[in-house]
Structure 1
Amino acid sequence: MSVWPEPFSTDGTFVSLVPLSQTHRADLAEATADGELHRLWYTTVPDAAGMEAEIDRRLALKTMVPFAVIDTSTGKAVGMTTYMNIDAPNRRVEIGSTWYRRSVQRTPLNTECKLLLLQHAFETLDCICVEFRTHFVNVQSRRAIERLGAKLDGILRSNMIMANGSIRDTAVYSIIASEWPTVKANLTWRLESQSG
Structure 2
Amino acid sequence: MIEQRKPAPPSFLVPVPLAGAHVALEPLSPDHVPGLIEAVKDGELWNTWYTRIPSPDGMAHEVEARLARQAAGSVVPWAIRRTDTGALCGMTTYLNVRAENRRLEIGSTWLAASAQRTPINTEAKLLLLTRAFEDLDCIAVEFRTHWHNHQSRAAIARLGAKQDGVLRNHEIWRDGTLRDTVVFSIIKSEWPTVRLALASRLARS
Is 1:81 equivalent to 2:89 in the alignment?
Answer: no
Q: Which has the larger radius of gyration?
A: 2
TM-score w.r.t. length of structure 2 = 0.92
**Maintained 8 Å contact 1:159/1:167:** yes
Q: Which of 126, 136, 159 lines up with 2:147 in the alignment?
A: 136
SS in 2 for 1:13: coil
Structure 1 partner of 2:7: none
Structure 2 partner of 1:59: 67
Alignment of 1:25-40 (within 5 A): 25-40=33-48
**Maintained 8 Å contact 2:13/2:75:** no
Is 1:166 equivalent to 2:180 in the alignment?
Answer: no
Deviation at 1:27, TM superposition (A): 1.0
Aligned-pair identity in percent equals: 55
Structure 2 partner of 1:118: 129
Structure 2 partner of 1:7: 15
**Maintained 8 Å contact 1:5/1:125:** no
TM-score w.r.t. length of structure 1 = 0.96
1:97 corresponds to which letter in structure 2?
A: S
RMSD: 0.9
For residues 13 and 30 of structure 2, what CA distance do their matches in structure 1 show? 21
For residues 119 and 43 of structure 1, what CA distance do their matches in structure 2 show? 26
Structure 2 partner of 1:104: 115
Structure 2 partner of 1:24: 32
SS in 2 for 1:165: coil
SS in 1 for 2:163: strand
Deviation at 1:161, TM superposition (A): 1.3
1:103 corresponds to which letter in structure 2?
A: S
SS in 2 for 1:49: coil
Is 1:152 equivalent to 2:160 in the alignment?
Answer: no
Deviation at 1:5, TM superposition (A): 3.1
SS in 2 for 1:47: coil
Deviation at 1:3, TM superposition (A): 4.5
Deviations 1:125-178 (A, max 9, x none): 000000000001100000000000000000000011111111100000000000
Q: Would you say how many aligned residue pairs link Structure 1 and Structure 2?
A: 193
